[in-house]
Amino acid sequence: MPSGIHPEEVRRAGRVELAIELHVLRAKTRESWEGYFQPFADGPLEHASATALAARNPTLLVRERARAIRADGLRFFLSTGGSHGSVKRSWTFDFQRELQALRVPSRLWAQPPGVPSFGRNQLPAALKFAEPPAQRAAHVDA
């Protein structure tokens, strides 16, 4: 785990940010289900400085580390239904465009707002994307 990340932060911080931080230590696919792509000054980050928040910003991190992310084969599955709380649906589309501009492999799955069962509906596409490429090819050949 990168130094300076408190365990409570791991629990509450944005998973995309942590995926970028930890990408070389784990599997090569990351998912964000109705996620957010900027840190909020709440919970363990409630009193964080602008510098600390910037260090946890997935958009800034992916820009800084795009070359390493591509070299390591990290891929992102992004999905969104509707906005919730302070988290806006449009942020998922914005982050997808950022990944495309950086040539970071990704897939966006979007459900129309207001449709129920978001998690259940997007799960088949998420699981298919998460399969290693060789396994996906084997399914096609079978």
pLDDT tens-place string over residues 91-126: 999 999 999 999 999 999 999 998 999 889 999 998
Q: Within a domain: residue 26?
A: yes
For position 76, which CATH number holds?
A: 3.40.50.1820
Tell me whether residue 113 is in a domain.
yes
Task: Report the candidate in 5, 52, 9, 30 with the shortest Cα–Cα distance to residue 99.
Answer: 30
Within a domain: residue 2?
no
Range(s) of the domain holding residue 137: 7-141
Are 8 and 44 contacting, i.e. CB atoms less than 8 angstroms apart?
yes
- Would residue 1 count as lying in a domain? no
The pLDDT score that the predictor gives to residue 24 is: 46
Q: For strands 75-80 and 29-33, give the pairing.
A: parallel
The answer to the question of residue 87 being in a domain is: yes
How many domains does the chain divide into? Answer: 1
Look at residue 99 and tell me if it is in a domain.
yes
18-42 average pLDDT score: 68
The answer to whether residue 60 sits within a structural domain is yes
pTM: 0.73
